[in-house]
Structure 1
Amino acid sequence: MQITENQRLRIIRKSLKLNQKEFGDSIGLTQGGYSDIERGKNSVSGRIKIFLNQIHNINIHWLETGEGEMFSVTIEDLAKNFVGFRKPGELSPEEIEKLNLELEHLKAEIFRAQCEINLYRDLCASKDKVISGLEELVKLMRER
């Protein structure tokens, strides 16, 4: 059985030892709003994903796919793991592979974020057109 984003969200909340109200509050949702997402009634929006990453350091790739680590690896984490290594030749093949894998995940996350930005830009442009049309309609109605 495939685990959904919504189910992974519950796993995240449980791992942080928070109840629905506390977790919802932390990402700007009511307990009921968060509960709807966790139960699968509503999907996990891009905005929520951004908050999850910024506030709880959640790896969005893991949330979406279940692949990788639940929590994002930060530059500080990487530095701690490789303290003492001064030259690339001193890294083991496993450590190099780990860095390459993290690099690929970060590139994929950047690509998804850029796609999301483009979608929001298109949405804003579309709404701007609707607003302009409505303003024109209001202007015409007032002239009558």
Structure 2
Amino acid sequence: MNTLHERIKILRKHLGYNQEEFSEKIGLKRAALSLIEIGKNSLTESNIRLICMTFDVSREWLETGTGKMLDPDTAEDREFLSLYKKLSPEIKGVVFDHVKALYKIEKKKKKDANIENELKEDKDE
């Protein structure tokens, strides 16, 4: 199993950032990130929280290497839920009905696309 500093480098490369880009997003100097990645410097609690929030990284994965690297709930998902919770029950009902309707439309489009692909595959055979 890899170490925390190795997981920082794995994460950075997975996201497609060089050290300069990654460090800029979390408010570190490139040299500081480089030292973290090679294990010469350790991450602060604040750095860990910022990395998790900025890149939607699972804290469990970052700290222990277990679980999924990326948190399935993005910052946008969390913001949507936070705003939704602040709505009145009446408005929540309206929003919920709209989201369900949109989901059904999207599900039908995906189903139709799958059927179309199957028909195309059958025709190609």
State whether structure 2 residue 48 is matched by structure 1 residue 49.
yes
C-alpha displacement of 1:29: 0.4
C-alpha displacement of 1:44: 1.7
Residue 34 of structure 1 aligns with which residue? Answer: 33
Q: Distance in 1 between matches of 2:17 and 2:42?
A: 20
* Runs of at least 4 residues off by over 4 Å: none
In the alignment, residue 36 of structure 1 is paired with which amino acid?
A: L
In the alignment, residue 63 of structure 1 is paired with which amino acid?
A: L
State TM-score, norm by structure 1: 0.50
Q: Distance in 2 between matches of 1:48 and 1:72?
A: 17
State whether structure 2 residue 55 is matched by structure 1 residue 66.
no
Q: Distance in 2 between matches of 1:54 and 1:37?
A: 18
Q: Distance in 2 between matches of 1:30 and 1:73?
A: 28
In the alignment, residue 55 of structure 1 is paired with which amino acid?
A: T
Residue aligned with 2:57, SS = coil
In the alignment, residue 41 of structure 2 is paired with which amino acid?
A: N
Q: Distance in 2 between matches of 1:22 and 1:28?
A: 10
In the alignment, residue 20 of structure 1 is paired with which amino acid?
A: Q
Q: Distance in 2 between matches of 1:66 and 1:54?
A: 17
Matches within 5 A, 1:1-144: 2-74=1-73, 76=77
Q: Distance in 2 between matches of 1:41 and 1:51?
A: 20
C-alpha displacement of 1:42: 0.8
Q: Distance in 2 between matches of 1:7 and 1:52?
A: 14
Q: Distance in 2 between matches of 1:16 and 1:73?
A: 15
Q: Distance in 1 between matches of 2:59 and 2:41?
A: 18
Residue aligned with 1:52, SS = helix
Q: How many positions carry a matched residue from both structures?
A: 78
C-alpha displacement of 1:74: 1.2
Residue 90 of structure 1 aligns with which residue? Answer: none
Q: Distance in 1 between matches of 2:68 and 2:44?
A: 20
Structure 1 unaligned residues grouped into runs of 5+? 78-82, 85-144
